[in-house]
Amino acid sequence: MPFVLERGPARYNSVWRPVPTSIYRVVFGRPLRTSEGGRERLDRPRALGAFGLDALSSVAYGPDEILYVLLLAGSAGLAWNLPIGLAIVVLLAIVVTSYRQTIFAYPHGGGSYTVARENLGIRAGLVAAAALMVDYLTTVAVSVTAGVEALIAMAPALNAYRVPLDVGIIVLLMLVNLRGVRESGAVFVVPTYIFIGSLGLLLAWGAFRLMFGGGLPVQPASAPAPVEGLSLFLILRAFAGGCTAMTGVEAIANGVPVFEPPETQRAASTLVILGGILSILFLGVVWVGHAIGAVPSDQANVVAQIGQTVAGSGPLFYLVQISAALILSLAANTSFNGFPLLAAVMSRDGYLPHQFSHRGLRLAYSNGIVVLGLLAVVLVVAFGGETHALIPLFAVGVFLCFTLSQLGMVRHWLRVGGNGWRSKLAINGVGALTTALVTLIVVSTKFLEGAWIVVLLIPILVIGFLAIHAHYAEMARELESGRPSRPTPEPHQVLLPVAGLDKAVSETVAYGLTLGAPMRALHVIIDDDAAEVLRKEWSEWGVDVPLVMVPSPYRTLLGPLMHEIHRLHHEAGGRVTVLLPEVVPRHWWQEALHNQTVLQLQLELRGKPDVAVTTVPVRLDK
């Protein structure tokens, strides 16, 4: 009588657990049950450390990017520093307000991808996803290289090890995030608040001295000779450079599901707190830096010059510098939280491999974390660890995401309505217009500097997403075409390739005899003497399995094996089951010493029609 086993024995379900090695437990921690997922949620302080580092760290280089452009126009250009800083803070307020509405409208995460897909169509959603993924990747590269450059500024001897340091930090961040969302967020809480507190104290002391303490000394050579005249295009270029300070703001809207309940309220309030802190710190750096005539250089950025001017060589200066270097390196953690969540959502929709939706033993989306880390290593090595070379790739993706998300929210309010929908539509409409304008500015001003790479890469990624989805759709059509017919036994032959007679072959033959199908062994003759020895041993062994000897003049295994498979098809038809003995060594480091031929045959035979490959594990005791 047919039956369905719905649940295993109670003892099995309650007692069994994965048993990773002690090394695994030290590096990643104990495995977590699915039921423990609620404990892995983030409160506001941890969320600010997990999702806010990218945005907060931009305070250390966003003002510099404004000045790098304005310096080309000399004193006339530097006069625009503060107005551009104010414009960026206004834009930040618009974006934060718009994304706060997105959090409540789409509480299941996905951010720009989900909003654009559901309101503007799947292709717009995929463009947003591709742009966001590029932004996450470049965020890791820029943050880590900027952090290492800050370390090099304090210890110039480290410059020779720039790229290895970059790679080492990326690998370290990858390992920390593989330990789980909550634990990684806790790791970054302390450096986050040290940076906020120390920089906030430095700026407050500087502002107090500017307003009530008789002012601050001005940096020497604060007005270099102009290289080109002041123009609207130059101002827009400086504005586009400073807008890098806004990258990472969208990460909270993408990761709403990892917040503690009530998720939307906690995510929205965390976003507002992040926006407020970022605005104060960014505008404070721009204002105090402008007051002292700070000009970024290879030796010291604007924050460093403010610290030297306000605090001298005191402890506060070094605390700000060290925490800034640390938070710049750790800012990549925002991407390690956002990228895997986005990849998991797209995987469930069928636009990325399904492996991206798998949660590891620590309930983290491990595959997304590892892929992001490896791609970031490749990017850093390709650009030689140079932050300034990576910056042009940085802001294009995020502002394209901002624009598509806000356009999607405009369409959402027009479609859904609800209480106060007109005011909400107006907020998102302003956000869409401003971010679209900034997107055009960023692309046009940074296109030749490297933004063309992002412009080219996004459509390539979209084509890849569509190809993956088409494959999954075709596979579903083939596998789910109506109710499957009742299975009936098919005739099949069992074939066992053997190199010699040993324990592995003996156990594989014993298993093959239980299959109840005709079985024969195959030896490919590469060495005549060894073949003759095997012939005699097999005959003396006396097992009721015929041994077929096939010569191979070119010493290949696959050709004779396929020839024998075709012969079995011709003689008896049906499926051929190839049994392969697989040696399982006692220690993991011995794996590379075994089964290379087995692996090669598995790869070669897996796509052959009517051929099933079965490995029979044979464990070694020593």
In a domain, 9, yes or no: no
C-alpha to C-alpha distance for 53 and 332, rounded to whole angstroms: 7
**CA dist list (Å): 600 to 576, 596, 597:** 18, 6, 5
Number of domains in the chain: 2
Q: Are residues 404 and 498 in the same domain?
A: no
Q: Are residues 382 and 511 in the same domain?
A: no
pLDDT at position 68 is: 86
pLDDT at position 311 is: 84
Confirm if 282 and 200 have CB atoms less than 8 A apart. Answer: no
User: Which residues, including other chains, have CB under 8 Å from residue 155's CB and lie 6 or more apart?
Assistant: none
Specify the CATH number for the domain of residue 576. Answer: 3.40.50.620
Q: Are residues 601 and 454 in the same domain?
A: no
Confirm if 519 and 545 have CB atoms less than 8 A apart. Answer: yes
In a domain, 412, yes or no: yes
pLDDT at position 7 is: 43
C-alpha to C-alpha distance for 96 and 85, rounded to whole angstroms: 16
Q: Are residues 375 and 450 in the same domain?
A: yes
Q: Are residues 322 and 242 in the same domain?
A: yes
pLDDT per 10-residue tile (average), the chain, 622 residues: 41 45 56 55 79 81 86 86 92 86 78 86 92 86 80 76 88 81 64 88 91 76 67 84 78 80 89 93 92 79 86 83 79 80 87 83 77 91 77 76 88 86 87 84 78 87 93 80 68 87 90 89 88 91 89 80 82 83 79 74 80 87 66
Phi (first) and psi of residue 542, to 5 degrees? 80, 15
Confirm if 491 and 519 have CB atoms less than 8 A apart. Answer: no
Q: Are residues 458 and 500 in the same domain?
A: no
Q: Are residues 289 and 410 in the same domain?
A: yes
Phi/psi-derived region of residue 384, left when phi > 0, alpha when psi is between -120 and 50, beta in every other case:
left
**Angle at 285 (CA atoms; ends 280, 291), nearest 5 degrees:** 120
DSSP run (H or E) holding 582: strand 575-584
C-alpha to C-alpha distance for 354 and 468, rounded to whole angstroms: 10
**Angle at 24 (CA atoms; ends 19, 25), nearest 5 degrees:** 75
Q: Are residues 572 and 469 in the same domain?
A: no
**What is the edge-to-edge ordering of all strands in the sheet holding 519-525?**
547-551, 519-525, 492-497, 575-584, 611-619
Phi (first) and psi of residue 496, to 5 degrees? -120, 105
In a domain, 81, yes or no: yes
Tokens matching residue 125 = 């959603």
Residue 327 burial (10 A CB sphere; 0-12, 13-18, 19+): buried
pLDDT at position 126 is: 94
In a domain, 367, yes or no: yes
DSSP result, 25-86: HHHH-S---GGGGGGG-B-HHHHHHHHSHHHHHGGGTHHHHHHHHHGGGHHHHHTTHHHHHH
Q: Are residues 469 and 497 in the same domain?
A: no
| Ordered alpha helix ranges (H), 391-484 | 395-416, 421-446, 452-479
Domain that holds residue 345: 40-473
Confirm if 241 and 69 have CB atoms less than 8 A apart. Answer: yes
In a domain, 28, yes or no: no
Other beta carbons within 10 Å of 121: 13
The residue among 443, 473, 503 that closes a domain is 473
